[in-house]
Amino acid sequence: MPNGLAIEARGLFKAFDGKTAVDGIDIRVPEGSIYGILGPNGAGKTTTIRMLLGIIDPDRGERTLLGHANPLEAAKIVGYLPEERGLYPAMTARESIAFMGALRGLPLSVGRARAAGLLKDNGLGDYVDKPVKTLSKGMAQTVQLFGTIVHQPKLIVLDEPFSGLDAINQGRLETLIREEAAAGATVIFSTHVIAHAERLCERIAIIARGKVRFEGSVADARDRLRPQVRLTTRSDDGPWRSALPARAKLEDGVWSFELPEGGIEPLLRALLDSGAGIEDLSIERPGLHDAFVAIAGGEAAREMGQPIPGDVE
Ligand SMILES: Nc1ncnc2c1ncn2[C@@H]1O[C@H](COP(=O)(O)OP(=O)(O)O)[C@@H](O)[C@H]1O
Ligand SMILES: [Mg+2]
């Protein structure tokens, strides 16, 4: 792309029956990057993705997909895993993958050969000729994912791809996303589980109630918050207390506060001078979850919940 962007969207707006679902969203996805759309349920992620792909048209706003003002013109070089999944139960794993590739213009014979390779390379070689109905839900989802990438798309769009997968399959999917990006594809996925985005994404958009609340790198999101200091001392009183930031909180014998602009050294000096006895001291960079709370608000964060390893829905 001349501007280096796989996706560029400006002012996307969509209402259903007079109710605003997406309220003026801007998104810029650099080519070759892994990009995350984060937000609680109902935030407008799926509607945004559908507009980006041209499955539905926005009421207002524009989008360019791989250089095409009409996203459907890029269909053959796009792979899309929708949020609502489904395969033909009687079709074998290999045929399902080849069939999905054929829908995007890949010759069936090539699709069949690649399908067998994808399944074998990922420990599913025994299932090549098994009907989809005999596979577990997670395996079937993996098969659908292979069908999404079998035509080797330049842009891979995955709507909540981690939902419904156990921890092992989630890990496999993370590896696959990294491999596809390393091979030059752009990957964009939506999630309401922050941990996946934190591990994978170069850039993220945090969406809440139809609006982008933050767009940028994971590091930028974290940098919105100061590191957190936690301190435990042997004696809980002394002249050092006046060196604590005004907003320091004491709970169960542990002081917690934001790292002061002037650093930790003045407090350390006061602690040493007054022999407070430092029992425990940590300075921690906030995680993406904390940044999310600060950016999107506590309500959205509660809807998102804490990242749960091996989250299965
Ligand atoms: N086809 C539709 N018809 C009516 N309302 C819809 C439709 N699609 C989405 N919505 C509404 O738009 C809002 C955003 O939904 P969605 O984009 O699915 O959010 P997310 O994917 O972030 O969970 C929700 O309030 C949802 O009920
Ligand atoms: Mg959705």
Local confidence band at 300 (pLDDT 50, 70, 90 cut-offs): low
What average pLDDT does the chain have? 91
pLDDT digits (tens, 9 = 90+) for 158-201: 999 999 899 988 998 999 999 999 999 999 999 988 889 989 99
- What residue ranges define each of the domains in the chain, with the CATH number in brackets? 5-222 (3.40.50.300), 226-284 (3.30.70)
**Reported confidence tier of residue 299, pLDDT bands at 50, 70, 90:** low
User: How do residues 57-111 score in pLDDT, each as one tens digit?
Assistant: 999 999 999 999 999 999 999 999 999 988 999 999 999 999 999 999 999 999 9
Rounded Cα distance between 232 and 256, Å, is 9
- Least Cα distance to 57 among 15, 5, 6, 1 occurs for 15
The Å distance, Cα 296 to ligand 2 centre, comes to 17
pLDDT at 257: 94
Q: What is the DSSP letter of 59?
A: S
Q: For residues 95 and 112, give the distance between their C-alpha atoms in angstroms, rounded to a whole number.
A: 7
Using alpha carbons, list the distances in angstroms from residue 114 to 48, 83, 97: 31, 24, 9
What is the reported pLDDT for 291?
80
pLDDT in tens, 228-261: 999 999 887 888 898 999 899 999 999 999 999 8
pLDDT at 303: 65
Q: Please give the average per-residue pLDDT across 18-36, as a whole number.
A: 96
- For residue 211, give the ligand nearest its CA: 1
Q: Please give the backbone phi and psi of residue 65, each rounded to the nearest 5 degrees, phi first.
A: -115, 115
Contact predicate 289/194, CB 8 Å: yes
Task: Give the position, in ligand 1's atom list, of the atom nearest the Cα of 41.
Answer: 23
Q: What is the DSSP letter of 297?
A: -
Query: What pTM, to 2 d.p., does this model score?
Result: 0.84
Which listed ligand is nearest to 41 at the C-alpha?
Answer: 1
Question: Which residues have CB under 8 Å from 296's CB, separation 6+?
Answer: 39, 40, 206, 208, 213, 214, 304
CA-derived radius of gyration, the chain? 24
Task: In whole angstroms, give the CA distance from residue 290 to residue 224.
Answer: 10
Q: 21 CB less than 6 Å from ligand 1?
A: yes
Task: Using DSSP, state whether 225 is helix, strand or coil.
Answer: coil
**3-state DSSP call for residue 90?**
coil
Ligand 1 contact via 63 beta carbon (within 6 Å): no
User: Which of 222, 178, 220 lies closest to 196 in space, CA to CA?
Assistant: 178
